[in-house]
Amino acid sequence: MAAVVDGFRGAARLTGGRVLLWSLLGRLPNAMCPIGTLLLVTGNSGSVWRGSAVAGALAIGQAAGGPVVGRLADRRGQRRIGLLAAAVNTVAIVALVAASEGGAPLGWQLAPAVLAGLSVPLVGPLSRSRWVRLADGKPELTSSMLSLDGIVDEISFTTGPALVGLLAGFADPAVGLLLAAALVGVGATLFAAHPTASPPAVRQARSGERLLGTSYVLLLAGIGLLGACFGSLQVGVTSVTEALGRPGAAGLIYGFMGLTSAFAGVATAALPARAGLPLRLRAGTALLFGASVLLLGASGGVLTLAAAVGCVGVAIAPQMITMFALVERTVPAGRLGEAMAALVSSIILAQSAGTLLGGWTAETYGPAAPFRVTVASAAAALLLAAATATDRRHPRRPAPPLTTERLAGSAAGPGHRAP
């Protein structure tokens, strides 16, 4: 434990405490906007379907724009692209709030939502790329810095929805989104302008090795099903808390799921080496399915709902950590950054699909109906993992040297909760 603490201290000294703070503030809006958009539009329109549609448009924009922003940051430098993205994103979020508060037609709300997604400054992925460059290939320092960044990511994922939920309960969901716009304008801007910002990279020849092998496609499908669980679960929590007369509790419950997920992620690091990655994936999907079934009987009260959602959270971080680790076994080392980006885009697109489907089922079959989508997605993920997550399909291989050049491409990934 002392070695871990010393490593964190060394990483903090190398980066500087302020840029870690800007990194946290700049990525908070990424956790606030999805649930904030859903609460805002649902509350103003009285329709969970409309709220789901606008939140889904935000996610689709993020999935499409994230890799583009990341590639531009690699080629033109994080400072220039980061400042531009922060400015556009701030304006887009404010425009979304204005359109919803003004009762604009659905199309006029979808447009700024898509723009907000397209212009996400990617503080999370760009920070990981930046820390790797600063570590200069030193394995221990690189590990400490990425672990520290993971803690910052979990804090933002936990705090963002809870903050939106509190503001929705005591004020208005619009306040939460306006705060997100302010955090982008300040935190993401200061992060992009910090002296540690990565300079433009020298363009390198793209690896000619094949990326879309069978094992990698299966991982894309598996993490997509996890994304469908996210989206439908979020809509289910929102619609059930609305029906119970406690709409402000949705953000708090979603934040509680992030908290249990964070603790499970820390516990995952303590698992013995003999528990291989394929075995962990099978066990994680079984846990996810079992926990999701609890949701079917948890719509009678806020506390029972929070307990069930918290159990689902326990299965999330181990799932994601394991899948991202398996990517390194299944794709060429020269295309690892591209593969990571596509994996995160897959989960975001599937989350938007789960959100849309969950909104439709809530409107058609009742507030708790989206949880059926969650259970069905978890069941499909379990069947997929049971049939394909094996040591034969994902054989262990020696890790290539951890170099700045190899990992610089991680900036191309969109700003979701990639470990």
Q: What is the pLDDT of residues 121-137, one digit of tens each?
A: 878 777 767 776 777 76
DSSP state for residue 391 in the 8-state scheme: T
Cα end-to-end span (Å), the chain: 21
For the chain, give the percent of residues with pLDDT over 70.
74
Cβ contact 110:57 at 8 Å: yes
- The answer for residues whose C-beta is within 8 angstroms of residue 260's C-beta and 6 or more apart is 310, 311, 313, 314
Query: Given a cut of 70, is residue 147 above it in pLDDT?
Result: no
> Tens digits of per-residue pLDDT, 259-281?
787 777 667 666 665 567 788 88
pTM (whole model) above 0.85: no
**b/e map of 133-166 (b: 16 or more CB within 10 Å)?**
bbbeeeeebbebbbbbbbebbbbbbbbbbbbbbb
Give the pLDDT confidence of 13-49 residue by residue, as tens digits.
766 668 888 888 998 898 888 888 988 998 888 888 8
Mean pLDDT of 349-364: 85
Q: How confident is the model at residue 93 (pLDDT cuts 50, 70, 90)?
A: very high
Domains of the chain: 2-203+211-412 (1.20.1250.20)
